């Protein structure tokens, strides 16, 4: 198929009008947000689209083995479910297809995490990763639900997740090129309706408090949908986002590439956004308009598609450290499960927030990615991470020395003044005589 034919071979089923969008309503909007099953150990991506009975369901166990005592456990999967529905019957399984996948959700407070479980899906010709971060500050309102009190942020991320998964499973088809802009409008319309319906179903009393910073059921979204091209090893990557969660592609040779632009008021680069905590300028919610951005990239396997909430990347020293965190964990792991657990341990050690991540590896398996990325891992470690960390330690020691010098200076100042003061104030008389 030529590039011109590919461009014309667009998917026919994207809803792009209100009369068609009515059929996109999802069960999540009618029945409220999906709650994790059992004791908080559901597999990532445990909901499937209505009528998609051809999906091969594989629920993975909790991926918490290897997490140190006292660290936060997370839900995780080490292998996403494969979809026979996504595979073209005319094509054999290609080594260029997704070969490894996992996701996890680390809650700062077990059972109360405001990030939803990530979406991790893959088939022979398609892939899907997504994360959703309920905004605890703007969505801190607490609602009574059948499962007990839940914040608006907690509910929002889960409602949005279920809607987006169902819509993307309907829109993605290996036989049709996804119409990205139309899909973005579809996602915005479907999520907006589901959040509004959920809010109405909560029967929450109207609040007298008005603030531009408060939102009803606010959440971020960051998503990448992958479609394999006819050309060997080539993939179309459709990136959708709203808020400050991110999608990255990691090339074993050239490293991490951020594909989403943070929706924040102070438009700095990734390092500037680490140094300052800017206010969100756009996010999904039930009571305010929002935008779902779309960006398309052409990718060549092998590569890693990574979706992450800010609890994963927002507490590292630099963006370089985030890449190193991912790749050094890969280097130090034996298979996808241990890679996931190492990432969870290392993120839990530094983050101050809930953290969710979805990873899909295309064109290589775990050991191949490990070998291919080894030179890059060593390069950024030796050239960037080690020098920065050593200088950071030096700065820390210098700051401690300055603090100690200030303490000794103040003590000496006080001591010398105490000895000097009586003669200095000889003619002032006593304070009580004034």
Query: What average pLDDT does range 250-274 have in this prediction?
Result: 93
Query: What average pLDDT does range 270-297 have in this prediction?
Result: 92
Residue 211: Cβ-neighbour burial (10 angstroms; 0-12, 13-18, 19+): exposed
According to the model, what pLDDT value does residue 74 have?
55
Q: Return the ∠ at Cα 392 (arms to 387 and 398), rounded to 5°.
A: 125
Question: How far is it, in rounded angstroms, from Cα 353 to Cα 308?
Answer: 12
According to the model, what pLDDT value does residue 232 have?
82
Q: What percent of the chain has pLDDT over 90?
A: 62
What pLDDT digit, counting tens, does each position of 304-318 carry?
A: 999 999 999 999 999
Strands 355-362 and 98-106: antiparallel
Query: What average pLDDT does range 289-296 have in this prediction?
Result: 97
pLDDT at 64 exceeding the cut of 80: no
- Per-residue confidence at 16, pLDDT binned at 50, 70, 90? very low
Work out the number of other CB atoms within 10 angstroms of the CB of residue 182.
17
DSSP state of 17: S
According to the model, what pLDDT value does residue 212 have?
57
What pLDDT digit, counting tens, does each position of 360-389 carry?
A: 999 999 999 999 999 999 999 999 999 999
Q: 171 or 29, which is more confident?
A: 171
The three-state secondary structure class of 237 is strand
Query: What average pLDDT does range 213-225 have in this prediction?
Result: 90
Of residues 389, 240, 268, the one with CA closest to residue 325 = 389
What pLDDT digit, counting tens, does each position of 150-189 carry?
A: 999 999 999 999 999 999 999 999 888 999 999 999 999 9
Query: What average pLDDT does range 322-350 have in this prediction?
Result: 97
According to the model, what pLDDT value does residue 266 have?
85
According to the model, what pLDDT value does residue 230 have?
82
Question: How far is it, in rounded angstroms, from Cα 117 to Cα 416?
Answer: 62
- 8 A C-beta contact, residue 132 and residue 189: no
Place of tokens 């927002």: 314
pLDDT at 237 exceeding the cut of 50: yes
Cα distance from N-terminal residue to C-terminal residue, the chain: 100
Question: Could you give the C-alpha distances from 74 to 69, 310, 399, in angstroms and in order?
Answer: 13, 16, 36
Both tokens assigned to 434:
């004034």
pLDDT at 45 exceeding the cut of 50: no
What pLDDT digit, counting tens, does each position of 86-140 carry?
A: 444 433 444 456 889 999 999 999 999 999 999 999 988 999 999 999 997 666 7
According to the model, what pLDDT value does residue 432 have?
67
Q: 13 or 282, which is more confident?
A: 282
Burial 41-72 (b: 16+ CB within 10 A, else e): bbbbbbbbbeeeeebeeeebebbbeebeeeeb
Residues 6 or more apart in contact with residue 177 via CB below 8 angstroms: 6, 7, 9, 10, 11, 227, 236
According to the model, what pLDDT value does residue 205 have?
58
Q: Where are the domains of the chain?
A: 3-203+211-374
Work out the number of other CB atoms within 10 angstroms of the CB of residue 34.
17
According to the model, what pLDDT value does residue 98 have?
80
According to the model, what pLDDT value does residue 353 have?
94
Question: How far is it, in rounded angstroms, from Cα 280 to Cα 263?
Answer: 6
Both tokens assigned to 107:
């809650």
According to the model, what pLDDT value does residue 274 have?
86
- Domain boundaries 3-203+211-374, CATH class: alpha beta
Q: 212 or 297, which is more confident?
A: 297
According to the model, what pLDDT value does residue 175 have?
86
- Per-residue confidence at 49, pLDDT binned at 50, 70, 90? very low
Q: 8 or 103, which is more confident?
A: 103
- Per-residue confidence at 341, pLDDT binned at 50, 70, 90? very high
**Three-state secondary structure of 302-317:** CEEEEEECHHHHCCCC
Query: What average pLDDT does range 383-400 have in this prediction?
Result: 95
Both tokens assigned to 381:
């470690």
The residues that bridge with 100 in the sheet, in sequence order, are: 361
- Per-residue confidence at 80, pLDDT binned at 50, 70, 90? very low
Read off the pTM.
0.78
pLDDT at 259 exceeding the cut of 70: yes
Across all residues in the chain, what is the average pLDDT? 81
Cα pseudo-dihedral 253, 257, 259, 265, rounded to 10: 180
Q: 428 or 59, which is more confident?
A: 428
Query: What average pLDDT does range 73-84 have in this prediction?
Result: 44
The helix (H) or strand (E) run that includes residue 191 is helix 180-201
Residues 6 or more apart in contact with residue 291 via CB below 8 angstroms: 188, 242, 282
Place of tokens 């400050």: 244
Phi-psi region of 413 (alpha: psi -120 to 50; beta: other; left: phi over 0): alpha
Both tokens assigned to 261:
């632009």
- 8 A C-beta contact, residue 7 and residue 177: yes
pLDDT at 426 exceeding the cut of 70: yes
Question: How far is it, in rounded angstroms, from Cα 333 to Cα 326?
Answer: 11
Start-end of H helices in 358-385: 366-380
According to the model, what pLDDT value does residue 213 have?
57
């Amino acid at each position: 198929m030529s590039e011109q034919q590919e461009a014309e071979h667009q998917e026919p089923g994207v809803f792009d009008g209100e009369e068609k969008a009515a059929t996109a309503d999802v069960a999540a909007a009618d029945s409220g947000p999906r709650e994790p099953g059992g004791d908080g150990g559901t597999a990532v991506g445990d909901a499937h689209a209505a009528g998609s009975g051809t999906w091969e369901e594989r629920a993975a166990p909790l991926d918490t083995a290897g997490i140190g005592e006292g660290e936060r456990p997370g839900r995780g999967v080490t292998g996403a479910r494969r979809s026979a529905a996504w595979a073209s019957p005319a094509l054999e399984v290609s080594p260029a297809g997704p070969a490894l996948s996992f996701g996890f959700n680390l809650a700062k407070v077990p059972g109360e995490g405001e990030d939803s479980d990530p979406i991790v899906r893959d088939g022979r010709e398609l892939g899907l990763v997504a994360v959703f971060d309920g905004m605890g500050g703007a969505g801190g309102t607490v609602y009574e639900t059948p499962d007990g009190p839940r914040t608006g942020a907690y509910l929002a991320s889960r409602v949005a997740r279920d809607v987006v998964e169902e819509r993307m499973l309907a829109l993605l088809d290996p036989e049709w090129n996804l119409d990205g802009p139309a899909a973005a409008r579809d996602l915005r319309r479907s999520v907006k309706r589901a959040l509004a319906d959920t809010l109405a179903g909560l029967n929450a009393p109207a609040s007298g408090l008005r603030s531009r910073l408060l939102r009803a059921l606010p959440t971020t979204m960051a998503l990448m949908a992958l479609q394999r091209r006819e050309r060997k090893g080539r993939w179309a990557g459709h990136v959708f986002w709203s808020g400050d969660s991110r999608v990255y592609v990691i090339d074993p040779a050239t490293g991490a590439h951020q594909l989403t632009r943070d929706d924040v008021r102070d438009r700095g680069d990734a390092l500037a956004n680490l140094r300052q905590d800017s206010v969100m300028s756009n996010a999904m919610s039930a009571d305010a308009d929002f935008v779902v951005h779309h960006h398309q990239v052409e990718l060549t396997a092998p590569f890693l598609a990574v979706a992450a909430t800010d609890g994963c990347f927002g507490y590292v020293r630099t963006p370089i450290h985030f890449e190193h965190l991912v790749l050094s964990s890969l280097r130090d792991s034996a298979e996808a499960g241990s890679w996931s657990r190492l990432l969870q341990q290392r993120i839990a050690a530094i983050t101050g927030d809930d953290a969710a991540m979805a990873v899909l590896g295309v064109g290589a398996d775990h050991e191949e990615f490990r070998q291919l990325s080894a030179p890059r891992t060593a390069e950024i470690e030796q050239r960037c991470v080690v020098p920065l960390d050593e200088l950071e330690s030096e700065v820390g020691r210098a700051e401690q020395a300055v603090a100690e010098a200030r303490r000794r200076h103040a003590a000496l100042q006080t001591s010398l003044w105490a000895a000097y003061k009586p003669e200095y104030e000889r003619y002032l008389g006593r304070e009580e005589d004034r």
